[in-house]
């Protein structure tokens, strides 16, 4: 009986706190809306779908993992960003000095504004993720799969930095 009462009290305390959730977010109770702006593509190497794919993945994460209403302008929270880097480099070199694996790296610059709690805001923070692929494959053959993997990593990092505050 005491154990049941203890569990009940702990559950009420966690639920009543209001800023923590089981999804890992720490959103203040007075924060209700978020504006996630389109991520402009400013990298030199062109990937025509990356801006849209990244923007939609961020919006989907916030829809699924928070209670925030998404608005077009002037949200309590505001995320703005741009893709600043999209590059391929050698990741592993063989004894013959030939690339055995290549690495696709995407870099994004993000500004996060919290209008209700400005101390949580940050400006121009850089997020980067990569995925490796066998050099016997062309980038065209593996690019869409690699981009999905990279977008997932970047979205997780942006989510954690903005509302999970890890």
Global pTM reads: 0.81
Parse the chain into domains and list their residue ranges. Answer: 30-164
Q: Would you give per-residue pLDDT tens digits along the chain (166 residues)?
A: 555 445 545 444 444 444 444 445 678 899 999 999 999 999 999 899 999 999 999 999 999 999 999 999 999 999 999 999 999 998 877 666 666 899 999 999 999 999 999 999 999 999 999 999 998 899 999 999 999 999 999 999 999 999 986 5
Closest C-alpha to 57, from 165, 163, 159: 159
Contacts of 88 (CB under 8 A, 6+ apart): 45, 102, 103, 104, 105, 139
CA–chain centroid gap for 75, Å, is 18
Q: Quote the CA–CA distance of 61 and 50 in Å, as a whole number.
A: 16
Closest C-alpha to 79, from 147, 148, 22, 161: 161
Contact status, residue 93 vs residue 103, Cβ threshold 8 Å: no
Fold adopted by 30-164: Double Stranded RNA Binding Domain (3.30.160)
Token digits for 86? Answer: 């999209």
Token digits for 111? Answer: 């500004």
At 159 the pLDDT is: 96
Strand partners, 34: 70, 77
């Amino acid at each position: 009986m005491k154990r049941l009462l203890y569990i009940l009290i702990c559950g009420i305390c966690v639920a009543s706190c209001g800023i923590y959730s089981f999804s890992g977010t720490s959103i203040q109770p007075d924060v209700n809306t978020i504006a996630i702006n389109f991520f402009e593509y400013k990298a030199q190497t062109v990937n025509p779908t990356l801006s849209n794919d990244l923007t939609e993945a961020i919006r989907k994460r916030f829809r699924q993992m928070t209670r925030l209403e998404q608005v077009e302008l002037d949200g309590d929270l505001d995320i703005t960003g741009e893709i600043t880097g999209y590059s391929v480099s050698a990741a592993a070199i063989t004894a013959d000095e030939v690339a055995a694996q290549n690495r696709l790296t995407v870099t994004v610059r993000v500004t996060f504004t919290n209008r209700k709690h400005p101390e949580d805001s940050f400006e121009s923070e850089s997020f980067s993720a990569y995925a490796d692929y066998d050099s016997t494959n062309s980038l065209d053959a593996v690019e869409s799969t690699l981009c999905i993997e990279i977008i997932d990593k970047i979205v997780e990092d942006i989510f954690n930095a903005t509302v999970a505050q890890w």
